A and B are shown apart, each in its own frame.
Chain A
Amino acid sequence: MPTPRPAARARSPGAGPDRKGRAPRADMEKQMPSATPDSVRSDLPDARGHYGRFGGRFSPEALIAALDQVAQEWDKAKADPAFRAELDALLRDYTGRPSLLTEAARFAEHCGGARVLLKREDLNHTGSHKINNVLGQALLTKRMGKTRVIAETGAGQHGVATATACALMGLDCVIYMGEEDTRRQALNVARMRLLGAEVVPVSVGSRTLKDAINEAFRDWVANVETTHYLFGTVAGPHPFPALVRDLHYVIGEEARAQVLDLTGRLPDAVAACVGGGSNAMGIFAAFVGDPGVALYGFEAGGEGVQTARHAAAITGGAPGVFHGARTYVLQDEHGQTLPSHSISAGLDYPAVGPEHAWLADTGRVSYRAVTDAEAMEAFRLLSRTEGIIPAIESAHALAGVRRIGEQLGPDGVIVVNLSGRGDKDVDTAATYFGLVDGEGEEQA
């Protein structure tokens, strides 16, 4: 396999890191008042789920009552100390939070020498950030008096996390998964079944994640009395983008305190991969009000955004309405959804959460595409330099960190959300790097 250099130098106009911003937070804010004022508003979304021109509810009327119920119940639960306490206890005793912030010194040597701090969501139970959202929504399901949970999954991470929470809480669980993905991720199908979930292969449309979501919506409308749709990312109709963001906020909240603790200051940059955008929203949300912290979202560039084979909705898509929200979507001239591609199943989605669309438009967050090849190179690099095998999704953020680090140089501090571990990706990596059948890996 070729090992290309990072293709482009990311430098965000207006939101870039300030090399001199070494001071503690109060000083930094004085030096860098440049962030778009709108971007630090904490009152988004509005009452109808809008983030500027994005978000909202483009859903069948039949689901509006259920969406209202979820929104209202979440508002109540958020303010309920008993709910908070129950969720916090689960996050601590079941998930293993707080997750670590690990300095990656050897990896950093390949990132222009900037300090690289890994937010270790890979260490959570079930192996990714997904569990944060799932436990919260499973508790919410019980609060609403519902007994059945449905969810979509692409790679299987959200499905496994959902099946896990349902096992823990005694909820019936049905997971929709594109037929194509059930084949690619057969082991995760077995995991979900072991956990007692029913896995339904979806054989319509493109047979991938977007079709699994379509099928879950169809199930939901028919069974909404008993069933909660445990949506897996910050996309979909209101209130899902806000609900899922809120449940992942813990990532950023911890990371912000940890980086202050470790370095005595805020980071210059925070980076995350963006599929639907939940791990990114979770970490960004805690830093979005810090104008001196540059935020970077890395989308799946597949074989390159100039080709037809990528999943970079912001970088390579156009505004539209998809899965219940106005946001950036990969679509053709007639508004038909285009198939997405990424080596990482968890990023293989033709749209993105509406808050990201808003953050992109305001310029507060810089979104860039990372190709399959760049991500795989970073995947191997982290494995070899740190002994940590990341999820291929997370490897997109790591590849982005290499670019940011080269701009920042040795004074820079970068926090990157390591959203998941790479156990599920060993097959893909073995094929990619030619590690099977005793073939040696080609040298980097």
Chain B
Amino acid sequence: MNERTNGGTGAAPGGADEQGATSRTALQAALARAEADGRAALIGYLPAGFPDPESSIKVIEAMVEGGCDVIEVGLPYSDPTMDGPTIQRAADTALSAGTTPADVLRVVQATAATGAAALVMTYWNPVERYGPARFCADLAAAGGSGVITPDLIPEEAEEWFAATDAAGLDRIFLVAPSSSDERLRLTARASRGFVYAASLMGVTGTRAQVAGTAEKLVARTRSAIPGGGPAVCVGLGISNRSQAAEVAAYADGVIAGAGFCQRVLDAPDLETGISAVRSFAEELALGVRDGRS
């Protein structure tokens, strides 16, 4: 592991950035605000361009109005091996609508304008193709805070560390119930902003219950870095208020995605979809507040 990446764990968020010591990313600020409120942050996911680029901005605005603190803007990809059928369908729809990385950056800009922190969630190849350094520079210019990379592990991320450091972006890697203690340490150290804890062994999609593996994983991730590492947020399978509350009791943030996509897919028209999305966000926002009371 590259030592310089350790700077990400609670030290200067900007990494190599001169101003890093004093500036926080919008993501870090949002997590700190939620913490100060005595609750978990609510993080919502939607693929940019779903159902089309303009409409995805409206859906995201509704997610923020409903109470999302942070938005993961998905970069739709042709081969989403980590996603279940709902998000696959949403991403396919976005691709069919002709969504490009430029559209994703536009959606990020609109997201940041709502006051929520904007992240990009992307499989690696589109970033590699765009050029990691250029991608980070353009994302930072659009007001994005960081990037979640579900198929990039720290061992393959040398260029990514340099690119995110140079642009002052957070970089979020994933941990899973199958991760060894050693890998939890490696991954938490490499991450900045938060660590994404996959609640279960599986792909995205709503589940009837939150997996019992999630709480233990959060505790293991926290203890992987003595003295405190980045925040730990939990995703996969969270689809209602009580699940959000359950996870909020032990995690720094609660991530929901498929539930939002499903509401847009199920709606007879965009307006109906948007209001269902808003109520869903409101429901989860209550959940993240129930969790610690």
Contact = CB atoms under 8 A, between A and B. Distances in A.
Interface of A: 48, 56-66, 204-205, 210-211, 214, 217-218, 221-225, 320-324, 329, 331, 333-337
A337 B78 contact: yes
B79 A64 contact: no
A62 B178 CA distance: 6
Interface string B188-207: 00000000001001110000
A87 B155 CA distance: 34
Contacts of A322: 79, 125
Contacts of B176: 60-62
B129 A335 contact: yes
Contacts, number: 111
A398 B167 CA distance: 52
B187 A335 contact: no
Contacts of A333: 129
Contacts of B198: 60-62
A62 B201 contact: yes
B77 interface: yes
Among B100, B101, B187, B203, the most chain A Cβ lie within 10 Å of the Cβ of B203
A331 B92 contact: no
A331 B124 CA distance: 13
A357 to B, nearest CB: 14
B254 to A, nearest CB: 19
B173 A222 contact: no
Among A59, A224, A321, the most chain B Cβ lie within 10 Å of the Cβ of A321
A61 B187 contact: yes
22 contacts: A60-B150, A60-B151, A60-B176, A61-B153, A61-B174, A61-B178, A61-B179, A61-B198, A63-B178, A64-B153, A205-B88, A214-B80, A218-B82, A221-B203, A222-B203, A223-B201, A323-B81, A324-B151, A331-B125, A334-B126, A336-B78, A336-B126
B128 interface: yes
B180 A65 contact: yes
Given A58-B156, A214-B80, A320 B175 contact: no
| Secondary structure of the A contact surface, majority rule | mixed
The range of chain B's interface size is 35 or more
B129 A60 contact: no
Contact of B202 (A64, A66, A211, A222): A222
A240 to B, nearest CB: 14
A61 B183 contact: yes
A217 B81 contact: yes
Given A58-B124, A58-B156, A334-B100, A214 B81 contact: yes
Among B81, B95, B153, B156, the most chain A Cβ lie within 10 Å of the Cβ of B81
Interface of B: 77-82, 84-85, 88, 92, 95, 100-101, 124-130, 150-153, 155-156, 173-180, 183, 187, 198, 201-203
Given A58-B156, A60-B176, 10 more contacts: A56-B156, A60-B174, A61-B153, A62-B176, A62-B198, A63-B178, A65-B183, A205-B88, A218-B82, A334-B100
B94 to A, nearest CB: 11
B178 A335 contact: no
Contacts of A336: 77-78, 95, 126
A214 B79 contact: yes
B169 to A, nearest CB: 19
Contacts of B78: 205, 336-337
B101 to A, nearest CB: 6
Given A222-B203, A322-B125, A335-B128, A204 B175 contact: no
Contact of B151 (A59, A222, A335): A59
Contacts of A221: 82, 201-203
Contacts of A223: 201
Contacts of B127: 335
Contacts of B77: 335-336
B126 A64 contact: no
Contacts of B203: 218, 221-222
Nearest to B204: A218
Contacts of B153: 57-59, 61, 64
A205 B81 CA distance: 11
Contact of A64 (B85, B100, B178): B178
Contacts of B180: 65
Q: Which 8 pairs between the two chains have the least Cβ-Cβ distance? A: A335-B129, A62-B176, A335-B126, A222-B202, A65-B178, A335-B125, A217-B81, A337-B78
B202 A60 contact: no
Contacts of B130: 334-335
A237 B202 CA distance: 18
Contacts of B155: 48, 56-57
Contacts of A56: 155-156
B133 to A, nearest CB: 15
B152 A58 contact: yes
B129 A58 contact: no
A56 B201 CA distance: 22
A334 B81 contact: no
A323 B124 CA distance: 11
Contacts of B178: 61-66, 224
Contact of B79 (A57, A59, A225, A337): A337
A224 B152 CA distance: 19
A393 to B, nearest CB: 23
Nearest to B88: A204
A61 B183 CA distance: 9
B179 A323 contact: no
A428 B124 CA distance: 37
B124 A61 contact: no
B179 A320 contact: no
A57 B101 contact: no
Contacts of B81: 60, 214, 217-218, 323
Among B78, B101, B198, the most chain A Cβ lie within 10 Å of the Cβ of B78
Nearest to B77: A336
Nearest to B155: A48
A269 B285 CA distance: 67
Contacts of A48: 155
Given A64-B179, A218-B81, A224 B201 contact: yes
